[in-house]
C-alpha cells in the first residue's frame, strides 16, 4: 500500500485494487461480529432470569422481527422494512439523541462557572458563539443599535465569531490535528514493524 | 392509512423516550430496548441484501468470479472467536485489515494531515491573522510536549497555548449546544407539524 | 435558603421545561429572523452554482437518523440545488445505518424534478470507509457493481461516463462522524478531488483547519448552515423553520449560564464575608 502511493502503475495498482477489494469483503464479517456481543448480553439476562428479562425479550423480538421482515420481504422502497425503519427506528434514534439538549442545558447551568481565567475565556467564547452563530445575534444588534452604528459595522457579533473560529480556534485545532496525525503514523509504523501487537490480543 | 398509523406509532415512541425526562420508567425502557433490537435487525437485513449478495453472491452467480471466496474465507475466520480452541485464527483477518489500513494511512496521512497543514501554517506574515495562527499552532504544540517541564519560557509559551485551546473548546461547546438544540427542534417539529398539524 | 443557594440547587426539570418551551413557542408563533450568510457556506453554494450543466457531483450521505435534523435539510437543499442546475448526482453512504435514509432522502429531493438513472443514482452502502473511498478513486463500479435498487451500473445511462473521481467535479460529504477527514486524506490528497463538507455542529469546529489549508472548499455546519443554504437556494425547509427556536433556546441557555455564575459569585462572596 505504501509502495503504490509512490508507484501508481501496474502491477502495484492491480495489487492495490485487489487488496482493497479483499479488505472490504473481510470487513463485511466485522459488521456482523459486533452483533454477537449484544446477543450474548441479552441472552444471558434471559437465561439468568434477571429483573430486566422482559426488556431483553423486547430486544430479541425487535431484532428478529426487523431482520425477518427485511430478509424475507426485501428492504427497498415501499416494503414493510422501510415502513418499520421510517416509523420505528428513525423516530426513536432521533429522539434518543435529542434528549441530550435537555441534559446539556442542565449541565451548562450547573457546571459552567468562570472560576479561573481559562474557564472565563472558554465561557465567554462559548456564549459569543451561541449568540452570534444564530440569527438573533444580528437581529438584536440591528434592533438595538442606531442606524449609523449598524451602517458602520453591520454584524460585529458574527464577525468576531468568524474571527474566533477561523483564527485562534483553528490554530489550536490544527495543533491537535498535527499531534494526533503524528501519533497515528507512529502507531501505524509500529504495527507494520511488529512492535505493536495489541490488536492481536494482549500477551499472545 | 399506513402513513397515519406510522406517524402515530412514531409520535408514541417519541413521547415514550421523552418520558425519561421526568424519571426512568417502563415506557422509556421498552422504547430503548426496542430501538436496540430494531437497529440490530436493520443491520442484519441491509448487510445481507445490499452487501453480501452484491459483493460475494452476485459475482459468483452472475459473473462466475469465485475469487471472492478467498477474502470471504478469511473473513469467516472472524467467527473463530466463538470457539476457544481456534480463537487465534482471528489474527489472520484482523492482521490483513489492519496491515492494509496502516500501509494506506502512512503516506496519505503524512501528506494531507502533516505536510499540508504545516504548509498552511508556515505562511509569510502578511496579515495579523497569519501571525496569530502561527503563534497559536506553535504554542499549542509546545503545550502538548510533556517531555519538558512547563516552567520558565516553556511555561509561558504553553500558557499561551492553553488560551488558544480554551477559545477552541469554548467554540466547540457553543457549537455542541447548537447541535443538541437542533436535534430537539427536529423532533419537536415532527410532533407539532407532522403529528398534530399545529406548526407551519 | 437564600436566593443564590435556591438558584444553585434548582431542580433540573424546571430547566427541561424552559428548554422545551423555548423550542415549542417559536415553532407555533414564528418570528422570522433573517438568516445571515457565512463565507464558508457561500463558497459551497457558489461552486455548485458555477458548475456547467451535465457536470457530476458525488454526495456522500454519511449520517444516520441521530443526525437527521441537522443533515437531512442540508442534503435536500444541496440535491435540489444540483437538480435545478441540471447537475447529475451520484449518492452513496459509508454508514450502514444511513443506507435506507439516503435512499429516502434522494427520492424525496428528486420528487417531480429529477429522474433516477438519468439525473441521479443512489449506490447505497459498502463497508470499509477509507478502503471504499480509495477504491472509488480507481473504479466506482468495482465496489458498487449495482445501484441501490439492484440495477447494474452499466445499464444506468448517467453512469456510462462516470468511472472514478476524474469524472466527478465535487464530492460533498454530509457527515455525522469523522468521514470528512477520510475523504480529505484518501480522495482529496491522493486523487486531487475537490471536497466540500457538511457536518453536524458538534464536529464543525474541527474542520476549520482543512478550510484554512484549502483542502476543502467550503463547510456547512449544523442546522444553521443548512438554513443558510436553504436561504441561498430560495427553498424554505425545516432548517429555516427551526432557526427562531434555535435563537430563543440559545438566549435562554446564555441567561441560565449568566444566572448560574451570578449566584455562584454571590455565594462565594457570602462565604468569604461569613469567614
Q: What is the CATH number of the domain that holds C172?
A: 3.40.50.1220
Asked if C142 and A21 come within 8 Å (Cβ–Cβ), the reply is yes
Q: Is C126 helix (H, G, I), strand (E, B) or coil?
A: coil
> What ipTM did this prediction achieve?
0.91
| C-alpha cell recorded at residue B162 | 492553553
The torsion angles phi and psi of B199, rounded to 5 degrees, stand at -110, 155
Domain carrying residue C214? 39-236
- A202, pLDDT greater than 60: no
Rounded Cα distance, B153 and B146, in Å: 14
| C-alpha cell recorded at residue B124 | 509569510
End-to-end CA distance of chain A: 27
Same domain, yes or no: C160 and C263: no
How many residues are present in chain B? 200
Q: Answer whether B99 touches C (CB < 8 Å).
A: no
- C8, pLDDT greater than 80: no
Same domain, yes or no: C131 and C195: yes
Angle CA B81–B86–B87, to nearest 5? 35
Rounded Cα distance, B161 and C14, in Å: 38
Angle CA C59–C240–C229, to nearest 5? 40
> Which residue in the block uniquely carries the three cell numbers 430503548?
B32
Which of A31-45, A186-200, B79-93 is predicted least confidently?
A186-200
* Nearest C-alpha neighbor of C75 from the set C46, C51, C48, C109: C109
Angle CA C38–C165–C169, to nearest 5? 40
Residues of chain B with C-beta less than 8 angstroms from the C-beta of C30: 200
Helices and strands (H, E) in chain C, number of each type: 13, 6
Same domain, yes or no: C157 and C196: yes
| C-alpha cell recorded at residue B99 | 496491515
Same domain, yes or no: C98 and C23: no
Rounded Cα distance, C207 and A165, in Å: 10
pLDDT given for residue C9 in this prediction: 79
Same domain, yes or no: C97 and C191: yes
- pLDDT-based confidence at residue A204 (cuts at 50, 70, 90): very low
Burial label for B34, CB within 10 Å (0-12, 13-18, 19+), is buried
| C-alpha cell recorded at residue C239 | 432548517
Same domain, yes or no: C115 and C46: yes
Q: Is C33 helix (H, G, I), strand (E, B) or coil?
A: coil
pTM of the model: 0.92
- A203, pLDDT greater than 60: no
* Nearest C-alpha neighbor of C167 from the set C145, C138, C147, C143: C138
Same domain, yes or no: C17 and C127: no
Same domain, yes or no: C69 and C177: yes
Residue of B nearest to A73 (CA): B45
* Nearest C-alpha neighbor of A55 from the set B31, B11, B20, B21: B31
Query: What's the rounded mean pLDDT across residues B119-128?
Result: 91
Query: Is there a contact between A169 and B168 (Cβ–Cβ < 8 Å)?
Result: yes
For A47-64, how does the pLDDT look when each residue is reduced to its tens digit (9 = 90+)? 998 888 899 999 999 999
Rounded Cα distance, A190 and C54, in Å: 47
Residues of chain C with C-beta less than 8 angstroms from the C-beta of A5: 190
Residues of chain B with C-beta less than 8 angstroms from the C-beta of C142: none
Query: Is there a contact between B192 and B14 (Cβ–Cβ < 8 Å)?
Result: no
Query: Is there a contact between B149 and A153 (Cβ–Cβ < 8 Å)?
Result: no
Residues 6+ apart with CB under 8 A from A181: B109, B110, B113, B114, B117
* Nearest C-alpha neighbor of C188 from the set A198, A107, B116, B72: B116
Rounded Cα distance, C138 and C158, in Å: 18
**Which candidate in C223, C240, C244 is best for mutational testing of the B interface (most B CBs within 10 A)?**
C223
Angstroms from A47 CA to nearest CA on chain B: 17
Query: What's the rounded mean pLDDT across residues B121-137?
Result: 93
**Using CB atoms and an 8 Å cut-off, which of residues 21-40 of chain C contact chain A?**
23, 33-36, 38-39
For B54-94, how does the pLDDT look when each residue is reduced to its tens digit (9 = 90+)? 888 988 998 888 989 999 999 999 888 888 888 888 888 88
- A199, pLDDT greater than 90: no
For B146-197, how does the pLDDT look when each residue is reduced to its tens digit (9 = 90+)? 888 888 999 999 999 999 999 999 999 999 999 999 999 999 999 999 999 9
Q: Answer whether C207 touches B (CB < 8 Å).
A: no
Same domain, yes or no: C99 and C15: no
Rounded alpha-carbon distances, angstroms, from residue A121 to A176, B155, B167, B177, C257: 19, 19, 6, 17, 14
For A85-120, how does the pLDDT look when each residue is reduced to its tens digit (9 = 90+)? 999 999 999 999 999 999 999 999 998 888 899 999
DSSP H helical ranges for A48-146: 53-73, 80-84, 90-111, 117-132, 135-144
Rounded alpha-carbon distances, angstroms, from residue C103 to A75, C72, C107, C134, C200: 11, 12, 6, 23, 20
Q: Domains in chain C: how many in total?
A: 2
Query: Is there a contact between C13 and B22 (Cβ–Cβ < 8 Å)?
Result: yes
What kind and span of H or E run contains B161? helix B152-189
- A65, pLDDT greater than 90: yes
Residues of chain C with C-beta less than 8 angstroms from the C-beta of B109: 185
Render the burial of C231-258: b for 16+ CB within 10 Å, e for the rest.
bbbebebbbbbbbbbbbbbbbbbbebbe
Rounded Cα distance, C31 and C26, in Å: 7
Same domain, yes or no: C139 and C56: yes
Partner residue facing C189 (CB), from B21, B51, B108: B108
Same domain, yes or no: C255 and C137: no
Torsion angle in degrees (nearest 10) through CA of A120, A168, C74, B42: -70
Query: Is there a contact between C23 and B188 (Cβ–Cβ < 8 Å)?
Result: yes
Same domain, yes or no: C23 and C148: no
Rounded Cα distance, C209 and B111, in Å: 15
The torsion angles phi and psi of C198, rounded to 5 degrees, stand at -120, 130
Query: What's the rounded mean pLDDT across residues C167-190?
Result: 95
Amino acid at each position: 500500500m505504501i509502495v503504490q502511493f509512490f508507484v501508481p502503475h501496474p502491477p502495484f495498482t492491480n495489487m492495490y485494487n485487489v487488496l482493497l477489494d479483499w479488505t472490504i469483503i473481510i470487513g463485511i464479517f466485522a459488521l456482523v461480529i459486533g452483533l454477537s456481543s449484544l446477543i450474548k448480553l441479552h441472552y444471558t439476562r434471559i437465561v439468568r432470569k434477571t429483573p430486566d428479562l422482559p426488556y431483553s425479550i423486547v430486544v430479541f423480538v425487535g431484532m428478529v422481527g426487523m431482520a425477518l421482515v427485511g430478509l424475507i420481504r426485501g428492504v427497498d422502497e415501499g416494503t414493510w422494512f422501510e415502513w418499520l425503519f421510517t416509523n420505528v427506528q428513525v423516530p426513536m434514534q432521533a429522539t434518543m439523541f435529542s434528549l441530550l439538549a435537555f441534559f446539556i442545558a442542565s449541565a451548562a447551568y450547573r457546571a459552567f462557572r468562570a472560576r479561573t481565567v481559562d474557564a472565563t475565556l472558554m465561557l465567554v467564547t462559548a456564549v459569543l458563539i451561541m449568540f452570534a452563530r444564530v440569527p438573533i445575534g444580528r437581529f438584536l444588534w440591528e434592533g438595538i443599535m442606531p442606524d449609523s452604528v449598524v451602517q458602520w459595522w453591520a454584524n460585529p457579533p458574527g464577525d468576531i465569531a468568524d474571527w474566533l473560529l477561523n483564527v485562534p480556534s483553528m490554530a489550536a485545532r490544527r495543533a491537535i490535528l498535527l499531534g494526533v496525525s503524528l501519533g497515528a503514523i507512529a502507531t501505524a509504523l509500529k504495527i507494520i514493524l511488529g512492535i505493536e501487537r495489541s490488536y492481536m490480543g494482549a500477551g499472545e | 392509512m399506513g402513513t397515519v398509523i406510522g406517524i402515530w406509532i412514531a409520535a408514541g415512541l417519541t413521547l415514550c423516550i421523552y418520558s425519561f425526562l421526568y424519571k426512568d420508567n417502563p415506557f422509556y425502557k421498552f422504547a430503548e430496548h426496542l430501538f436496540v433490537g430494531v437497529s440490530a435487525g436493520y443491520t442484519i437485513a441491509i448487510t445481507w441484501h445490499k452487501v453480501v449478495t452484491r459483493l460475494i453472491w452476485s459475482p459468483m452467480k452472475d459473473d462466475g468470479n469465485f475469487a471472492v471466496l478467498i477474502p470471504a474465507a478469511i473473513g469467516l475466520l472472524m467467527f473463530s472467536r466463538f470457539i476457544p480452541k481456534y480463537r487465534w485464527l482471528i489474527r489472520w483477518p484482523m492482521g490483513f485489515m489492519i496491515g492494509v489500513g496502516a500501509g494506506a494511512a502512512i503516506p496519505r496521512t503524512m501528506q494531507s494531515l502533516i505536510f499540508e497543514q504545516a504548509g498552511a501554517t508556515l505562511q509569510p506574515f502578511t496579515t495579523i491573522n497569519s501571525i496569530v495562527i502561527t503563534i497559536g499552532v506553535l504554542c499549542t504544540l509546545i503545550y502538548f510536549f510533556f517531555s519538558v517541564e512547563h516552567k520558565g519560557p516553556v511555561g509561558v509559551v504553553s500558557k499561551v497555548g492553553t488560551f488558544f485551546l480554551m477559545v477552541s473548546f469554548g467554540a466547540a461547546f457553543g457549537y455542541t449546544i447548537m447541535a443538541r438544540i437542533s436535534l430537539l427542534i427536529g423532533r419537536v417539529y415532527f410532533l407539532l407539524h407532522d403529528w398534530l398539524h399545529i406548526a407551519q | 435558603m437564600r436566593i443564590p443557594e435556591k438558584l444553585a440547587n434548582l431542580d433540573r426539570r424546571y430547566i427541561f421545561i424552559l428548554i422545551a418551551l423555548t423550542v415549542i413557542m417559536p415553532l407555533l408563533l414564528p418570528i422570522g429572523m433573517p438568516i445571515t450568510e457565512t463565507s464558508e457556506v457561500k463558497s459551497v453554494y457558489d461552486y455548485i452554482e458555477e458548475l456547467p450543466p451535465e457536470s457530476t457531483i458525488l454526495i456522500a450521505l454519511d449520517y444516520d437518523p441521530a443526525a437527521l435534523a441537522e443533515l437531512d435539510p442540508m442534503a435536500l437543499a444541496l440535491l435540489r440545488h444540483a437538480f435545478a442546475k441540471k447537475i447529475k448526482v451520484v449518492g452513496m453512504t459509508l454508514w450502514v445505518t444511513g443506507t435506507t435514509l439516503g435512499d429516502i432522502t434522494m427520492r424525496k429531493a428528486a420528487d417531480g424534478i429529477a429522474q433516477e438513472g438519468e439525473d441521479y443514482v443512489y449506490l447505497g452502502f459498502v463497508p470499509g470507509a477509507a478502503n471504499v473511498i480509495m477504491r472509488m478513486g480507481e473504479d466506482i463500479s468495482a465496489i458498487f457493481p449495482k445501484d441501490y435498487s439492484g440495477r447494474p451500473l452499466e445499464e444506468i445511462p448517467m453512469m456510462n461516463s462516470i468511472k472514478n473521481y476524474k469524472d466527478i467535479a465535487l464530492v460533498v460529504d454530509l457527515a455525522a462522524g469523522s468521514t470528512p477527514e477520510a475523504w480529505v486524506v484518501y480522495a482529496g490528497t491522493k486523487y486531487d478531488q475537490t471536497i466540500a463538507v457538511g457536518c453536524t455542529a458538534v464536529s464543525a469546529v474541527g474542520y476549520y483547519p482543512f478550510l484554512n489549508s484549502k483542502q476543502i472548499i467550503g463547510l456547512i455546519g449544523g442546522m444553521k448552515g443548512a438554513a443558510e443554504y436553504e436561504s441561498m437556494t430560495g427553498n424554505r425547509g425545516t432548517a429555516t423553520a427551526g432557526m427562531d427556536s434555535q435563537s430563543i433556546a440559545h438566549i435562554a441557555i446564555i441567561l441560565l449560564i449568566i444566572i448560574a455564575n451570578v449566584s455562584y459569585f454571590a455565594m462565594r462572596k457570602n462565604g468569604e464575608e461569613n469567614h
